[in-house]
């Protein structure tokens, strides 16, 4: 076997002598290997003269010299051209002793063992080590590795390492254009696109002791930017465009915040965050159903910006943007790059109902992000190049966080675990790895576990989302409603608010064609999965299509909802089946990216345009009916608060949907006391002072005011605040002179008994 070692050296006189001596000793100790050393030397510091001293001892050493530096990439281009035609393998390494020559035999053996066309000496796989590297270099290298994995899906962890073993015949097919440091990832991108086999082997990277690094931060950054410019193709540009569009849609949907459509539910995580900042540690933000993880994120924002509606929009916005990024990474791994780009278009600009439930601070934006992350890590464990213990621990940790956030996560965790077991059981199901996954899960779910130990299994008893529906008739009714109402609402909703915001003519005209696209994409995913499973039954070794993972998620999520009381909510319960959208987006991506003929491609483009147009028309743009209504409600709420404070009202009783949000907006003064005790999640009634207080009863119905006047003996004052709110201020003499907590119970009983039917 013939081995060529190519090294570029620019002013490395202090390092080149010990490097060459160690290289020669290492190569001479390799049996049955002939070799040559090719040095591409630039500069006038004496590096060339130092190497000339080896000429008599090492006949196979060649030195290619130039006075002025042309760049690392240009130097290696010259060195590759000088490699002997009969070479089998080409080793590249740095000249500054960052790389240890003694590791060459192990790297060559790994190259042969793995059959790699390019073997990378990696700092970032298990066993790899870094010593002495400045923090800024680690940050820059790490950032570029993340960016390149996202943009091009390179299946290696260390994309910037120069310590490599190339199969010579494969190297001759690669032509890099960049002249600086970025030629290293450029070669990997080209090799990956050609379908060449890439592999990694751990190395020790020891930062230079002598000489000056040529890798300045500005120069290196410019080099990497030139790589991005040179390698951005139409699919990459499309992905970046869709990601930016998705971020813009969520930003415009969120700000300026007037009022959240689902208040006060949307303010519960914010209320929990306020409690957390006051030292009241919380596990849940909505009963015992939604975990408080999002609230801890809100607390960080509130600590800087204060507890406002606008500040409560930051976390869901960030979670939504990150979800789009993670979905793209997941889709690319499951269905391929081009299909993932099309799927990204319909995920980044989602249907109105999906957007409605994932741009508000209600716990679901974070849940969606965690679900997608669980699936992405599971895919990496199942079919990715990296399966180290840290990835197993990460899978357990993210799964635990998702479980704490909502028990509905079981519909994602079970398929994710099954996916790993189907492809690579040893990646998770061995004793040590299973223990790591369990440890990660215990860490992530520790608040939930602690709560259920203190209050035995309380989250199962008091959580309608996982309580069984009880009867077979109920299960059938739930399933029918999901198919007939919830799934169509998820993909082609005309009005997620169910009434206040009628759709315009464009959306009404597009609804049926867009529904057909979603149905065709989902059906196509079913067909691909069925074909693959049928082929495997017949003995074929064809890989399982990535849509199977998302199909499993959708099936389990629908089953969990149909079997639980959550499926009995008829409004329609889109929020309980949000992961079904993952399958729909992937199916549409595969369907619309597959046509090869011009007519088919034109039809696919028109279908995609129709879906995006329908969804864009459903965005709550500033000036839309929904935003106008929310702005009006916010103005009325401002007038209400001003009136309450003017009258020195301490507590407001009324319907949960209209009074409970005051506890966040008004900072608890006046306190909003809901008409149902079970909806007073934070026990604001119990926090009222130990003395009588001034009360106001709030409603939107004039007939309720009249009934309250009678119930309170006709003594009191009736006021209006804005265009919606009606207030009844009972005379203090009509309320028992007891502490406010007892007054709250008395008013709740009296007012509820007098309330006329709706």
CATH number, residue 221: 3.90.550.10
Judged against a pLDDT cut of 80, whether residue 273 lies above it is answered with: yes
Q: Are residues 578 and 637 in the same domain?
A: no
Q: Are residues 10 and 45 in the same domain?
A: yes
pLDDT of residue 141: 66
Mean pLDDT, range 134-148, rounded to an integer: 65
List beta partners, residue 10. 42
- The Cα–Cα gap between 65 and 39 comes to 8
For residue 6, the 8-state DSSP code is E
562 and 660 in a common domain: no
Q: What is the pLDDT of residues 665-709, one digit of tens each?
A: 999 889 999 999 989 999 999 999 999 999 999 999 999 999 999
Distances in Å between the Cα of 343 and the Cα atoms of 234, 527, 582 are: 15, 18, 9
Q: Which long-range contacts (CB under 8 A, 24 or more apart) does 57-62 make?
A: 57/24, 58/20, 58/24, 60/35, 60/36, 61/20, 61/36, 61/37, 62/36, 62/37, 62/38
Please indicate, yes or no, whether residues 213 and 313 belong to a single structural domain of this protein.
no
On whether both 344 and 453 belong to a single domain, the answer is: yes
In this prediction, residue 596 carries a pLDDT of 62
pTM comes to 0.78
Model confidence pLDDT, tens digit, residues 577-596: 999 999 999 999 999 997 76
Looking at per-residue pLDDT, the higher value among 467 and 450 belongs to: 450
Q: Kindly state whether residues 218 and 242 are assigned to the same domain.
A: no
What mean pLDDT comes out for the span 291-311?
96
* Structural domain boundaries, residue 741: 626-754
Which distant-in-sequence residues (6+ apart) come within 8 Å of 185 by Cβ?
144, 148, 154, 159, 160, 227
Of 196, 231, 266, the position where a domain reaches its end is 231
How far is the first Cα of the chain from the last one, in angstroms, to the nearest whole number? 89
Residues 300 and 435 in one domain: yes
Q: Are residues 201 and 291 in the same domain?
A: no
**pLDDT number for residue 625:** 87
Percent over 70 (pLDDT), the chain: 92
Q: What is the mean pLDDT of residues 608-618?
A: 96
Residue 140 has pLDDT above 70, yes or no: no
The number of distinct structural domains making up the chain is 3
Using the 3D structure, point to which of 598, 617, 636 is the last residue of a domain.
Answer: 617
Least confident stretch, 384-388, 448-452, 584-588 = 384-388
Predicted confidence at residue 640, as pLDDT, reads 95
Q: Which H or E run contains 719? A: strand 716-721
Lowest-confidence pick of 52-66, 295-309, 358-372: 52-66
Strand 198-202's sheet: what is its strand order? 61-66, 34-42, 2-10, 89-94, 164-167, 118-122, 198-202
Are residues 555 and 576 part of one domain?
yes
pLDDT digits (tens, 9 = 90+) for 199-244: 999 999 988 666 555 454 555 556 666 666 655 667 778 888 899 9
Same domain, 170 and 68: yes
What does residue 225 show for φ and ψ, rounded to 5 degrees? Answer: -65, -40
pLDDT for residue 738 is more than 60: yes
How far apart, in Å, are the Cα atoms of 714 and each of 164, 732, 733?
89, 12, 12
Say how far apart CA 658 and CA 649 lie, in whole Å.
Answer: 16
What is the pLDDT confidence band of residue 460, given thresholds at 50, 70 and 90?
A: confident
Which stretch of 456-465, 514-523, 690-699 has the lowest confidence by average pLDDT?
456-465
Q: In terms of Cα–Cα distance, which of 215, 212, 186 is closest to 77?
A: 186
**Which pLDDT belongs to residue 274?**
95
Q: Average pLDDT, whole number, for the chain?
A: 90
- Specify whether 291 is located in the same domain as 223: no
Among the three residues 231, 256, 277, which one is the final residue of a domain in this structure?
Answer: 231
Residue 185 banded pLDDT, cuts 50, 70, 90: confident
Residue 295 confidence (pLDDT): 97
Res 641: pLDDT: 95
Rg (CA), the chain: 32
pLDDT in tens, 245-268: 999 999 999 999 989 999 999 999
Q: What is the pLDDT of residue 705?
A: 94
Nearest to 358 by CA among 601, 155, 582, 99: 582
90 and 186 part of one domain: yes
746 φ, ψ (degrees, to nearest 5): -65, -45
């Amino acid at each position: 076997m013939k081995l060529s070692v190519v090294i570029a050296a620019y002013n490395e006189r202090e390092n080149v002598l010990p490097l060459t001596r160690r290289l020669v000793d290492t190569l001479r100790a390799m049996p049955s290997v002939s070799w040559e050393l090719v040095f591409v030397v630039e500069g006038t510091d004496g590096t060339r003269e130092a190497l000339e001293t080896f000429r008599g001892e090492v006949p196979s050493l060649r030195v290619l010299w130039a006075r002025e530096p042309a760049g690392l990439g240009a130097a290696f281009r010259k060195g590759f051209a000088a490699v002997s035609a009969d070479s089998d393998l080409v080793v590249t390494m740095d000249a500054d002793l960052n790389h240890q020559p003694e590791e060459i035999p192990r790297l060559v053996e790994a190259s042969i063992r793995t059959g790699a066309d390019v073997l990378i000496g990696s700092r970032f796989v298990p066993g790899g080590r870094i010593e002495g590297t400045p923090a800024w270099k680690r940050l820059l290298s790490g950032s570029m590795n993340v960016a390149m994995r996202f943009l091009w899906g390179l299946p290696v962890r260390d994309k910037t390492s120069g310590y490599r073993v190339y199969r010579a015949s494969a190297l001759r097919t690669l032509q890099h254009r960049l002249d600086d440091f970025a030629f290293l990832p450029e070669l990997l991108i080209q090799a990956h696109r050609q379908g060449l086999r890439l592999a990694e082997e751990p190395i020790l990277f020891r930062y230079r002791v002598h000489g000056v690094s040529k890798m300045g931060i500005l120069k290196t950054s410019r080099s990497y930017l030139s790589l991005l410019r040179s390698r951005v193709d139409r699919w990459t540009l499309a992905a970046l465009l869709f990601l930016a569009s998705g971020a813009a849609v969520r930003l415009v949907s969120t700000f300026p915040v007037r009022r959240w459509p689902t208040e006060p539910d949307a303010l519960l995580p914010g209320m929990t965050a306020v409690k957390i900042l006051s030292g009241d540690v919380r596990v849940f933000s909505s009963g015992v159903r939604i975990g408080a993880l999002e609230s801890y994120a809100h607390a960080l924002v509130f600590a800087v910006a204060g507890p406002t509606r606008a500040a409560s929009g930051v976390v869901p916005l960030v979670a939504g943007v990150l979800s789009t990024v993670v979905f793209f990474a997941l889709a690319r791994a499951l269905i391929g790059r081009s299909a993932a780009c099309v799927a990204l278009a319909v995920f980044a600009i989602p249907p109105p109902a999906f957007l409605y439930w994932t741009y508000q601070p209600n716990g679901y934006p974070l849940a969606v992000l965690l679900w997608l992350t669980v699936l992405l890590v599971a895919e990496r464990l199942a079919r990715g190049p990296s399966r180290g213990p840290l990835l197993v621990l990460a899978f357990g940790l993210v799964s635990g966080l998702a479980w704490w956030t909502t028990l509905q996560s079981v519909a994602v965790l079970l398929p994710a675990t099954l996916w790993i077991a189907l492809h690579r059981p040893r990646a998770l199901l061995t004793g040590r790895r299973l223990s790591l996954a369990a440890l990660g899960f215990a860490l992530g779910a520790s608040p939930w576990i602690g709560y259920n130990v203190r209050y035995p299994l309380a989250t199962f008893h008091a959580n309608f989302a996982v309580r069984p529906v009880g009867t077979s008739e109920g299960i059938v009714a739930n399933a029918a409603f999901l198919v007939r109402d919830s799934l169509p609402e998820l993909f082609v909703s005309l009005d997620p608010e169910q009434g206040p915001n009628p759709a315009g003519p464009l959306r009404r005209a597009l609804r049926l064609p867009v529904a057909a696209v979603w149905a065709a994409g989902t059906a196509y995913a079913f067909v691909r999965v069925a074909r693959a499973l049928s082929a495997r039954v017949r003995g074929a070794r064809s890989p399982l299509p990535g849509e199977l993972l998302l199909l499993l998620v959708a099936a389990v999520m629908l089953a969990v909802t149909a079997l639980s009381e959550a499926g009995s909510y008829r409004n329609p319960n889109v929020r309980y089946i949000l992961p079904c959208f993952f399958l729909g987006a992937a199916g549409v991506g595969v369907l619309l990216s597959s046509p090869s003929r011009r007519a088919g491609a034109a039809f696919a483009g028109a279908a995609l345009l129709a879906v995006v147009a329908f969804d864009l028309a459903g965005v709550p743009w500033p000036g839309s009916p929904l935003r106008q209504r929310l702005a009006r409600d916010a103005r009325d709420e401002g007038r209400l608060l001003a009136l309450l404070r003017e009258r020195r009202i301490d507590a407001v009783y009324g319907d949960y949907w209209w009074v409970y949000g005051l506890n966040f907006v008004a900072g608890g003064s006046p306190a909003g006391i809901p008409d149902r005790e079970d909806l007073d999640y934070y026990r604001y009634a119990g926090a009222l002072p130990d003395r009588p207080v001034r009360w106001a009863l709030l409603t939107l119905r004039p007939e309720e005011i009249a009934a309250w006047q009678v119930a309170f003996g006709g003594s009191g004052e009736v006021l209006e605040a804005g265009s919606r709110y009606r207030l009844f201020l009972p005379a203090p003499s009509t309320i028992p002179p007891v502490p406010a907590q007892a007054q709250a119970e008395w008013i709740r009983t009296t007012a509820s008994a007098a309330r006329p039917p709706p």
